[in-house]
Amino acid sequence: MRKLMKKLSGLENVDLKGASLTLAEVLRTSTRERFKEQKSPEGKPWTKSIRALRESGTTLTESARLKNSIKSTADSTGFAVGTNTVYARTHQFGEKGRKVTIRAKTSRGLIFQVDGRWIRKKQVTVNIKIPARPFLGISEEDMQEIKGTLEDIIAEA
């Protein structure tokens, strides 16, 4: 692909910004499609979320906010695809040992059993592990699409 990019930059009649916009849109579309397929760029299925299992839903799409936040930007020097949601990093890379505090919604508190004894607490703190569910990246299909698009642009120049 580097050879194609170098060849492309050496051509005079090529709209580099237009080429970058096209490639950015290809990757943005592919990234959003991963939410439907529930697979990483490498084609590995995401670990089902507890909510998706409980509600027979789809992982990472309770509100579709993350999927809908996928944006692209491009200029004559290149392009980028990503999101600015604060929790995107956690889903992309996962997180080991996040401390979460669970608070009771009522004055009765939280009631649960530990070693056969019933315990009542106003709140508890637990460590949770959130598995990585990568959605950003370039798949083999993306790479072929990029390569084909660049070859077409070079052929037209």
Co-location of 80 and 116 in the same domain: no
pLDDT tens readout for residues 78-134: 899 999 999 999 999 999 988 889 999 998 999 989 899 999 999 999 898 999 999
Co-location of 45 and 83 in the same domain: yes
Q: Which pLDDT value is given to residue 153?
A: 80
Co-location of 79 and 141 in the same domain: yes
Co-location of 72 and 49 in the same domain: yes
Query: For the chain, how many structural domains are there in total?
Result: 2
Co-location of 61 and 82 in the same domain: yes
Closest listed residue to residue 99, CA positions, set 125, 79, 76, 121: 125
Co-location of 100 and 89 in the same domain: no
The domain in which residue 30 lies consists of 2-94+135-156
pLDDT tens readout for residues 37-49: 999 999 999 999 9
Token readout for 119 is 């315990």
Co-location of 43 and 66 in the same domain: yes
E strands, the chain, are 71-75, 78-82, 95-103, 110-114, 117-121, 123-130
